[in-house]
Structure 1
Amino acid sequence: MGIALVTGATSGIGEEFCWQLAAAHHDLVLVARREEKLRKLAEDLRQIAGVTAEVIVADLGVAGDVERVAARLSDEQSPVGLLVNNAGFALGCSFIDNAIEAEENALDVMVRAPMVLSYAALKAMRARGRGAIINVSSVASETGAGTYSAHKAWIRAFSEGLSEELRGSGVTVTAVCPGPVHTNFFEAAGVDMSAAPQWLWATPEQVVSEALDAMRRGQVLVTPTPVYKVAMAAMRVAPRWVTRRVMRSIPHM
């Protein structure tokens, strides 16, 4: 079924993308920082799903590492048919109270890297007349809640713009905008979400399944789970000051 490259592949939504793509008989290129976890996941995918799994150890906050991944996306000897720009993290702190170096690193990982990798992938895909990109955005893209929200809004707008540029080319771009997902995302940032009711949460399986279904339909934007479909629709019609006021009560991401 072709090769898929997934960034942030070793946990959460990224790992679930790997397993669902492997179940659909895609070979994989796994990209993440932690070599031991990458190699363990690659071996599990080979043994359990019977697919090929390459490993690229890369920190997407480092320009040289991003260029290595981009070079793999440009390789026409072993073409990548699907790029999943998933790598990202919560900052867990307000912009003014955070270190500027941490903010710059987040911008590099969640904005610059997807832009560079998409450029490399799309050059090759458009020349072949087929291919797809899935960019992981967030419901936070509608909230105006700090720099994480800004990064995810950029991803969504970038995806929409690319989808129009590529109309009729055989290449599609889909942005998936999940709400909170049961992963280690918040825990890793030190954000306490223990008081959030269970009905607010999605599973990685739900998010990835809906994202892949949307990609196969050529859908540009998808918000997994009914509750966040409603929330996104409400935020789009609500006055912006209402959304900002509501977001004040939610921990910083």
Structure 2
Amino acid sequence: MTTSLITGPTAGIGAAFARRLAADRHDLVLVARDGARLGETAAELRERHGVRVEVLQADLATDGGISAVEGRLRDAGLPPVDVLVNNAGFGNRGRFLEAPMADELRMLTLHCEAVLRLTAAAAEGMRERGRGTVVNVASVAAFMPRGTYAASKAWVVRFTEGAALDLRGSGIRFLALCPGFVRTEFHERAGMQAERLPSWAWLDADKVVAAALRDLARGKVLSVPDARYKTAVGLARHVPSRVFGALSAGAGRRYDPKPPPHRG
């Protein structure tokens, strides 16, 4: 039986990955901060799909939380993790210098340090077994100038591409998933004015996951679901940065001083 570990599985893209992989008969290890929602999600997946579901409550914006998940990934006494989905993340509303530095640093810990350490912990065993999959959820923001969030997601993309190159031939598949705007709790939690966006800009989380898995099966390392966002990424490579920066800033113009919870 294949075992998949998913961070941030209680909503949005993480929940879509959990549903899809459980439907594909994967046993699951679910990692999130909110213990109550984690338990509810696990119970629903067990009942609906009849798979084994472990839960691990951990805050991946802290060293202790990351270490706990590293321990699970390296634990030889438990079923090995065949698929790692690094999905947990959050956004800060507002421009650079409008968000508290503590929130910016939490973001870098979650988006970069946690992804680095969990990927390394999982890849060690995967390389020994000669097989495995790592999906790192980034964003189309990685290709656009938009403060710390975009910079952290650009790091995720480059890190994933580099790991795929360095471990080529090991049997490990890597994918950086770069969706556009997806109908999830993400924007509401970050206090962003997502209602300004037109309806055509939104993607469905289940369809994003389906597209990611198709790209993974095709051997791709970078997945940008939906032709509209593929076009946007292509344009971002040629249009001046200030143009895309202005376009992407609209949804998060105002700042809420309360620190936003992250997904997972």
Is residue 66 of structure 2 the alignment partner of residue 36 of structure 1?
A: no
Equivalent residue runs for 1:108-147 within 5 Å: 108-147=109-148
Equivalent residue runs for 1:13-24 within 5 Å: 13-24=13-24
In the alignment, is the contact (CA less than 8 A) between 2:193 and 2:251 conserved in 1?
A: no
Is residue 137 of structure 2 the alignment partner of residue 157 of structure 1?
A: no
> Root-mean-square deviation (CA), in Å?
1.4
CA distance in 1, matches of 2:95, 2:129: 44
How far did residue 238 of structure 1 move?
Answer: 2.3
- Correspondence for 1:243: 244
Is residue 236 of structure 2 the alignment partner of residue 231 of structure 1?
A: no
How far did residue 23 of structure 1 move?
Answer: 0.5
Residue 219 of structure 1 aligns to a residue whose secondary structure is coil
CA distance in 1, matches of 2:114, 2:233: 26
Gaps of 5+ in 2: 256-264
- Correspondence for 1:50: 50
CA distance in 1, matches of 2:26, 2:6: 11
1:183–1:248: structure 2 CA closer, same or farther, 3 Å change rule? closer
How far did residue 249 of structure 1 move?
Answer: 4.1
In the alignment, is the contact (CA less than 8 A) between 2:194 and 2:251 conserved in 1?
A: no
CA distance in 1, matches of 2:245, 2:223: 23
- Correspondence for 1:216: 217
CA distance in 2, matches of 1:248, 1:50: 43
CA distance in 2, matches of 1:243, 1:196: 15
Residue 30 of structure 2 aligns to a residue whose secondary structure is strand
Could you give the per-residue CA deviations for residues 164-221 of structure 1, whole angstroms, max 9, x where no partner exists?
0111110011001000000111101111111211111001011111112222232100
In the alignment, is the contact (CA less than 8 A) between 2:192 and 2:251 conserved in 1?
A: no
How many residue pairs match? The answer is: 253
- Correspondence for 1:180: 181
What is the TM-score with the length of structure 2 in the denominator? 0.92
**Bigger mean CA deviation after superposition, 175-184 or 91-100:** 91-100
Residue 51 of structure 2 aligns to a residue whose secondary structure is coil
Equivalent residue runs for 1:71-110 within 5 Å: 71-77=71-77, 78-110=79-111
How far did residue 240 of structure 1 move?
Answer: 3.0
How far did residue 81 of structure 1 move?
Answer: 0.3
CA distance in 2, matches of 1:33, 1:251: 24
What is the TM-score with the length of structure 1 in the denominator? 0.96
Residue 196 of structure 2 aligns to a residue whose secondary structure is coil
Residue 237 of structure 1 aligns to a residue whose secondary structure is coil
How far did residue 245 of structure 1 move?
Answer: 4.1
**Larger RCO: Structure 1 or Structure 2 (Cα < 8 Å, ≥ 6 residues apart)?**
2
Residue 67 of structure 1 aligns to a residue whose secondary structure is helix
How far did residue 85 of structure 1 move?
Answer: 0.3
